[in-house]
A and B are shown apart, each in its own frame.
Chain A
Amino acid sequence: MRQFTYERATSAASAAAAVADNGNAKFIAGGTNLLDLMKLEIETPTHLIDVNGLGLDKIEATEKGGLKIGALVRNTDLAADERVRRDYGVLTRALVAGASGQLRNKATTAGNLLQRTRCPYFYDTNQPCNKRQPGSGCSAIGGVTRQLGIVGVSDQCIATHPSDMAVAMRALDATVETVKSDGVTRSIPIADFHRLPGDTPHIETALDQGEIITAVTLPPPVAGRHVYRKVRDRASYAFALVSVAAIVRPDGTGRVALGGVAHKPWRVEAAEADMPNGAATVMRKLLDGARTTEENEFKVTLAERTLAGILEETKG
């Protein structure tokens, strides 16, 4: 870990400005991802701006009938919120499937969206990695890839986004609210928030330098059975091999998003029309163009069978 200076932000805009002006500055929220990466010198900020004191820790009803979740709301509190549990069950289920109780007590909404990949080569600074060190190459391709991505991958990077929460938010059509250093706000649909790796796997989101997340807004509740199914080798405390967030209405129509398969939560709206026709049909469109390795091609079958299980369970 490199030495760094630290300050507590007093307003979102001033925090944004401080980071915008300093390429080596970063926000810190729960610190559960950033500090680990700093210890390994995968992240090397020289200045940290603590955003915990900005009062962004509330969950409020919106005029449109949705919910506005402050960027600093802890994963534990979000999962436990009565409105979330009642109306956005897929989100609660995704949250509690993630990490551990202790981590969720610290982890924040914004931090969770911005957590970085768990590709093992990204974590070993002796190994080339385009995401960690642009242009150095991708060690994972041709190496150990069981956990890695199968859709939307590129020749530069096949990493996945590890978040569970984000997959549920993608199914819910959430919007990420931000403020830039000049005070200008943006509402970024979650579909556009995370990027595919392409030639620039180190650029992971639509955020500009210094742009701060203030909230995530959920539209009015979506009716149907809310399911989050996270598949992993051990029963808890592991990242998803594949996860499926689904909302299924009694007639079999609904929404589905996947985790553990791509550089972003993976959803193809056009595939959803096929939900009444079964998982295989949905997956043909949802995973169209999948590019697998020998080690991770099982994820195609796994995603399909996981969805099949959900469709079976939510029948009638």
Chain B
Amino acid sequence: MRFDTPATNNPIDQMKVVGQAITRIDGPRKVTGTATYAYEWHDASLKAAYGYPVGAAIAKGRISSMDVQAARQAPGVLAVVTAESAGKLGKGSLNTATLMGGPEIQHYHQAIAVVVAETFEQARSAAQLIKVDYVEAPGAFDLAAEMENAVKPESGDPDSAAGDFGPAFEAAAVKLDERYTTPDQSHAMMEPHASLAVWNGDELTLWTSNQMIAWNRAQIAATLGMEEDKIHIMSPFIGGGFGSKLFLRSDALLAALGAKAAGRPVKLALPRPFLMNNTTHRPATIQRIRIGAGQDGRITAIGHESWSGDLPGGGPEAAVMQTRLLYAGQHRMTAMRLATLDLPEGNAMRAPGEAPGLMALEIAMDEMAEKLGIDPVEFRIINDTQVDPEKPEKQFSHRQFVECLRLGAERFGWERRNPTPGSVRDGRWLVGMGVASAFRNNLVMKSGARVRLDREGVVTVETDMTDIGTGTYTIIAQTAAEMMGLTVDKVAVNLGDTRFPVSAGSGGQWGANSSTAGVYAACVALREKIAQKLGFNSTDVTFADGEIRSGNRAISLAQAAGDDGITAEDTIEYGDVSEEKQQSTFGAHFVEVGIDAYTAEIRVRRMLGVAAAGRILNPITARSQMIGAMTMGVGGAFMEELAVDKRRGFFVNHDLAGYEVPVHADIHDQEVIFLDETDPYSSPMKAKGVGELGLCGVAAALANAVHNATGVRVRNYPVTLDKIIRDLPRIG
């Protein structure tokens, strides 16, 4: 199905099932331990052996010698594979560094060997027996120091300009020119990267934990030099990914290589420290923001520059993108510059681009509002735009940004905020409120599905779409149920298998809208087929209560299916309609924090997120996405930072004791409001992404609240007590 005109009325608009608060259909399996994750395939017939990785002990250089003899002879060891013994390996286009290092080492903990043994303990123990000598090479590990060597990236729209920024900024009545930094961050999802590889001749079956299994298949094929159709991937349950599982990573490659060498199925999970230095991370940024406005608060000039680093061949963190679309202003510029760093590979993490970009921009907006003496909510409203400010002829498909701010302010009790920083006290707590805008573009991706109606009247959906904890199973079931006039218990959903039609996959908050639109398309085809089979005129049939009806005729779906059942398959593909209008998602975050007047400890008291993100397919799963994202925002604001050892070139705090994310005690009162909205430009579902939107802006709202509470402006994340304690009022 091609989607090239805006959606009109369709069965989804009935909202009998879609849009209803249905608890997740995979919930019972998850809480009873019967949702099987990649590392949990314990099928005895597989006789899987265990792989354990060895990571490089240096950041850059060469392996001069490697002695695997002792490991090979260790108890239980079946195979040891290194770059030397692996044979020629390719590199997938989505990887920057090779997944198997040696002799050249490109980053710390780059995998250099895998040991396969009968038991996990034997593999781990033998891995430690491998002796490696290195010749270290000097590397670049400090973004601030490399800033001046940063270059304009070759691809990806690094610069933008409209009007004449320089003079307009100079001429502005009120100006801000500040620098902000965001640190390297780790996805730190619960389930580490894990895979089980099984070879059957030259065919590879892989159970893995991956967000985009079609991409993954192509990347494995490229890396191992195989045909894609010889690779079968299954990824039905994923314990979080946050972008780190968009790509093929070393777990899958090492499991495949180990299994080949050992002649046995091999399972391998990356040890926790590998998540920080072996896989990808969100790169640190240095951002300069300039805003010029008139005394009336109207922005006349806005400029946003960002510097980030990556390994040679890598890309920038697109931290300036939202600044091109969020606020009005005639004169504007953005620029991204990329430095070469020899730290591990930077890549997508939890709303890449906008998350770190808004961390900076939304502090700048707060500072600007303060300079202007305008309430920060009003300042944002004044600078709303209904068109792409770079291309005024292009409208937004739907933009309820101002509505989010106004409703949020009202519900949060924003009028109680004291604009004078450091003036509200509650016992030992200094209390402050903060606001920030949420913005994230809405991407749409081609997505396919197959649906089968059987003689029990059950519809089974198959698509290679993944559920990374987001609720995909449930919203897909709701979509099929709505389309076919069923309840969700009459829908079975099978996901994450390369034998199923290729879907959008989970990433960039495109998954929910795109994958359900694919199911919609397949269901339209199925409705056709059923009607045809029954000789009904497909234009005037309805599907309701398990029946297909036309005029005064009604036949149950079970009966319509017959013994053979009816199967249909289709893919939603997007035409120009998605280009016609600018599709974005909007929101506003309101937060209240308390800062201990003595210790400067920072604690969140309450949070409210308001989102305008198209049709909400399921308020429960959407709310979970929002509160999870808001929790990540607390991490980003107050604790998450990969600490770089700038001498040795690695992230030092490479475990969950050292890399802190929020715990339950950090999260109290979280509220979420979704505006009632449908966007006919997004898809027949009229939905958009919401998961990443929920994170965008949160950290800045929190940083702004810290300023409101204390008067201390921190521009370098994370905002931790050591950065404010010296500036707190004296005590005693």
Closest residue to A239 on the B side, CB-wise? B657
User: Which residues of the partner chain A approach B644 to less than 8 Å between Cβ atoms?
Assistant: 144
Q: List A residues 110-152 near B (Cβ within 8 Å).
A: 118, 120-121, 123-124, 126-127, 139, 142-144, 146
CB distance from B135 to the nearest CB of A (A): 15
Closest residue to B596 on the A side, CB-wise? A309
Closest residue to B127 on the A side, CB-wise? A41
User: Which residues of the partner chain A approach B31 to less than 8 Å between Cβ atoms?
Assistant: none
Closest residue to A229 on the B side, CB-wise? B599
Judge if A155 is at the interface, Cβ distance under 8 Å: no
Judge if B663 is at the interface, Cβ distance under 8 Å: yes
Per a CB cutoff under 8 Å, which of B124, B125, B599, B603 touches A235?
A: B603
User: Residue-by-residue, is A304-316 near B (CB-CB < 8 Å gives 1, otherwise 0)?
Assistant: 0110110111000
* A2 B658 Cβ-Cβ under 8 A: no
Per a CB cutoff under 8 Å, which of A39, A41, A233, A309 touches B598?
A: A309
* B645 A143 Cβ-Cβ under 8 A: yes
Judge if A302 is at the interface, Cβ distance under 8 Å: yes
User: Residue-by-residue, is A19-54 near B (CB-CB < 8 Å gives 1, otherwise 0)?
Assistant: 000000000000000000001010000000000000
A selection of 30 A-B contacts at a CB cut-off of 8 Å is: A1-B125, A3-B75, A3-B125, A120-B654, A123-B658, A126-B58, A139-B648, A143-B647, A144-B643, A144-B652, A146-B643, A233-B602, A233-B720, A233-B721, A235-B603, A235-B666, A236-B665, A236-B666, A280-B732, A298-B722, A298-B725, A305-B728, A306-B598, A308-B598, A308-B732, A309-B428, A309-B596, A309-B598, A311-B732, A312-B598
User: Which residues of the partner chain B approach A3 to less than 8 Å between Cβ atoms?
Assistant: 75, 125
* B721 A231 Cβ-Cβ under 8 A: yes
* A126 B57 Cβ-Cβ under 8 A: yes
User: Which residues of the partner chain B approach A309 to less than 8 Å between Cβ atoms?
Assistant: 428, 596-599, 731
User: Which residues of the partner chain A approach B657 to less than 8 Å between Cβ atoms?
Assistant: 118, 238-239
* B662 A234 Cβ-Cβ under 8 A: yes
Judge if B600 is at the interface, Cβ distance under 8 Å: yes
Q: How far is the CA of A280 from the CA of B58 in the complex (A)?
A: 44
Closest residue to B660 on the A side, CB-wise? A234
User: Which residues of the partner chain A approach B728 to less than 8 Å between Cβ atoms?
Assistant: 305
* A308 B652 Cβ-Cβ under 8 A: no
Judge if B133 is at the interface, Cβ distance under 8 Å: no
* B128 A41 Cβ-Cβ under 8 A: yes
User: Which residues of the partner chain B approach A236 to less than 8 Å between Cβ atoms?
Assistant: 663-666
Q: Is the interface of B mostly helix, strand, loop or mixed?
A: loop
Q: How far is the CA of A126 from the CA of B112 in the complex (A)?
A: 14
Q: How far is the CA of A309 from the CA of B722 in the complex (A)?
A: 17
Q: How far is the CA of A126 from the CA of B128 in the complex (A)?
A: 11
Judge if B67 is at the interface, Cβ distance under 8 Å: no
Please provide the 5 A-B residue pairs with the shortest distance between their CB atoms, ordered closest to farther. Answer: A309-B598, A298-B722, A235-B665, A126-B57, A236-B665
Known pairs A120-B652, A144-B653, A305-B600; A312 contacts B732 (CB<8 A) = yes
Q: How far is the CA of A233 from the CA of B644 in the complex (A)?
A: 19
Judge if A257 is at the interface, Cβ distance under 8 Å: no
Q: List A residues 224-248 near B (Cβ within 8 Å).
A: 229, 231-239, 241
User: Which residues of the partner chain B approach A241 to less than 8 Å between Cβ atoms?
Assistant: 721-722
Q: List A residues 268-316 near B (Cβ within 8 Å).
A: 278-280, 298, 301-302, 305-306, 308-309, 311-313
CB distance from A99 to the nearest CB of B (A): 10
User: Which residues of the partner chain B approach A306 to less than 8 Å between Cβ atoms?
Assistant: 598-599
User: Which residues of the partner chain B approach A298 to less than 8 Å between Cβ atoms?
Assistant: 721-722, 725-726
User: Which residues of the partner chain B approach A146 to less than 8 Å between Cβ atoms?
Assistant: 643, 722
Q: How far is the CA of A126 from the CA of B725 in the complex (A)?
A: 35
User: Which residues of the partner chain B approach A142 to less than 8 Å between Cβ atoms?
Assistant: 647
* A234 B666 Cβ-Cβ under 8 A: yes
User: Which residues of the partner chain B approach A313 to less than 8 Å between Cβ atoms?
Assistant: 428
Q: Is the interface of A mostly helix, strand, loop or mixed?
A: loop
Q: A231-B601, A298-B722 given; name 19 further pairs at CB < 8 Å.
A: A1-B125, A39-B124, A124-B273, A139-B648, A143-B647, A144-B652, A144-B653, A233-B602, A233-B638, A233-B639, A234-B639, A235-B665, A241-B721, A241-B722, A301-B726, A302-B721, A302-B725, A305-B728, A309-B596
Q: List B residues 634-671 near A (Cβ within 8 Å).
A: 638-639, 643-645, 647-648, 652-655, 657-658, 660, 662-666
Q: List B residues 566-616 near A (Cβ within 8 Å).
A: 596-603
Judge if B121 is at the interface, Cβ distance under 8 Å: yes
Residues of B within 8 A of A (CB): 57-58, 75, 121, 124-125, 128, 273, 428, 596-603, 638-639, 643-645, 647-648, 652-655, 657-658, 660, 662-666, 718, 720-722, 725-726, 728, 731-732
Known pairs A1-B124, A309-B428; A124 contacts B732 (CB<8 A) = no
User: Which residues of the partner chain A approach B599 to less than 8 Å between Cβ atoms?
Assistant: 229, 231, 302, 305-306, 309
Q: How far is the CA of A185 from the CA of B16 in the complex (A)?
A: 77
Closest residue to A238 on the B side, CB-wise? B660
Q: How far is the CA of A262 from the CA of B663 in the complex (A)?
A: 26
Interface size on A (CB < 8 Å)? 41
Q: How far is the CA of A309 from the CA of B427 in the complex (A)?
A: 12
Q: How far is the CA of A143 from the CA of B652 in the complex (A)?
A: 9
* B663 A237 Cβ-Cβ under 8 A: yes
User: Which residues of the partner chain A approach B596 to less than 8 Å between Cβ atoms?
Assistant: 309
* A123 B725 Cβ-Cβ under 8 A: no
User: Which residues of the partner chain A approach B718 to less than 8 Å between Cβ atoms?
Assistant: 233
Q: How far is the CA of A281 from the CA of B721 in the complex (A)?
A: 23
User: Which residues of the partner chain A approach B658 to less than 8 Å between Cβ atoms?
Assistant: 118, 120, 123
User: Which residues of the partner chain A approach B648 to less than 8 Å between Cβ atoms?
Assistant: 127, 139, 143
Closest residue to B601 on the A side, CB-wise? A231
Q: How far is the CA of A313 from the CA of B597 in the complex (A)?
A: 12
Q: How far is the CA of A124 from the CA of B274 in the complex (A)?
A: 12
Q: How far is the CA of A306 from the CA of B718 in the complex (A)?
A: 21
Closest residue to A306 on the B side, CB-wise? B599
CB distance from B84 to the nearest CB of A (A): 21
Q: How far is the CA of A1 from the CA of B654 in the complex (A)?
A: 19
* A308 B731 Cβ-Cβ under 8 A: yes
CB distance from B440 to the nearest CB of A (A): 26
Closest residue to A126 on the B side, CB-wise? B57
Q: How far is the CA of A56 from the CA of B519 in the complex (A)?
A: 64
User: Which residues of the partner chain A approach B653 to less than 8 Å between Cβ atoms?
Assistant: 120, 144
Q: How far is the CA of A305 from the CA of B655 in the complex (A)?
A: 30
Closest residue to A308 on the B side, CB-wise? B732
Q: How far is the CA of A306 from the CA of B647 in the complex (A)?
A: 34
Closest residue to A147 on the B side, CB-wise? B658
Q: How far is the CA of A139 from the CA of B643 in the complex (A)?
A: 14
Q: How far is the CA of A231 from the CA of B58 in the complex (A)?
A: 34
* A234 B663 Cβ-Cβ under 8 A: yes
Q: How far is the CA of A51 from the CA of B125 in the complex (A)?
A: 25
Known pairs A280-B732, A308-B598; A2 contacts B125 (CB<8 A) = yes
Known pairs A124-B652, A239-B657; A302 contacts B722 (CB<8 A) = yes
Q: How far is the CA of A129 from the CA of B600 in the complex (A)?
A: 32
Q: How far is the CA of A93 from the CA of B660 in the complex (A)?
A: 23
CB distance from B616 to the nearest CB of A (A): 31
Q: How far is the CA of A229 from the CA of B644 in the complex (A)?
A: 30
Closest residue to A298 on the B side, CB-wise? B722
User: Which residues of the partner chain A approach B725 to less than 8 Å between Cβ atoms?
Assistant: 298, 301-302, 305
User: Which residues of the partner chain A approach B652 to less than 8 Å between Cβ atoms?
Assistant: 120-121, 124, 143-144
Closest residue to B656 on the A side, CB-wise? A237
* B598 A1 Cβ-Cβ under 8 A: no
Per a CB cutoff under 8 Å, which of A143, A238, A278 touches B732?
A: A278
Q: How far is the CA of A312 from the CA of B57 in the complex (A)?
A: 49
* A1 B721 Cβ-Cβ under 8 A: no
Closest residue to B644 on the A side, CB-wise? A144
CB distance from B639 to the nearest CB of A (A): 5
CB distance from B659 to the nearest CB of A (A): 10
Closest residue to A140 on the B side, CB-wise? B652
User: Which residues of the partner chain B approach A235 to less than 8 Å between Cβ atoms?
Assistant: 603, 663, 665-666
Q: How far is the CA of A232 from the CA of B722 in the complex (A)?
A: 11
* B600 A302 Cβ-Cβ under 8 A: yes
User: Which residues of the partner chain B approach A120 to less than 8 Å between Cβ atoms?
Assistant: 643, 652-654, 658
CB distance from B269 to the nearest CB of A (A): 14
